[in-house]
Amino acid sequence: MIGNDGKPVTRDQIRAAIATYNSGSRGSKEFAAIPRALVTILDNLAVGKTAYVKGGDGQLQITRRKDKSIAAA
């Protein structure tokens, strides 16, 4: 995953971005800082499905919960 600044993001940065995504305020400055590719992946993830996002220091498993939030393992 490449961030908006063109540098690879770490798993911790992806977790922080997911926490911001789950907060639900899509118009905030914090939401605008989330990489666009990650927002696309998270928006299209169906309930109960799992995806893997590769960070600069390894991959991270993400899952959409029944309450429509995203969990990162």
* Residue 53 near residue 38 (C-beta atoms within 8 A): yes
Q: Please state, in angstroms and rounded to a whole number, the distance separating the CA atoms of residues 7 and 23.
A: 25
* Residue 62 near residue 45 (C-beta atoms within 8 A): yes
pTM above 0.85?
A: yes
Amino acid at 63: T
Per-residue pLDDT of the chain (73 residues; tens, 9 = 90+): 899 899 999 999 999 999 999 997 888 899 999 999 999 999 999 999 999 999 999 999 999 999 999 999 8
Instruction: Give Dmax over CA atoms of the chain in angstroms.
Output: 33
23 token code pair: 């907060």
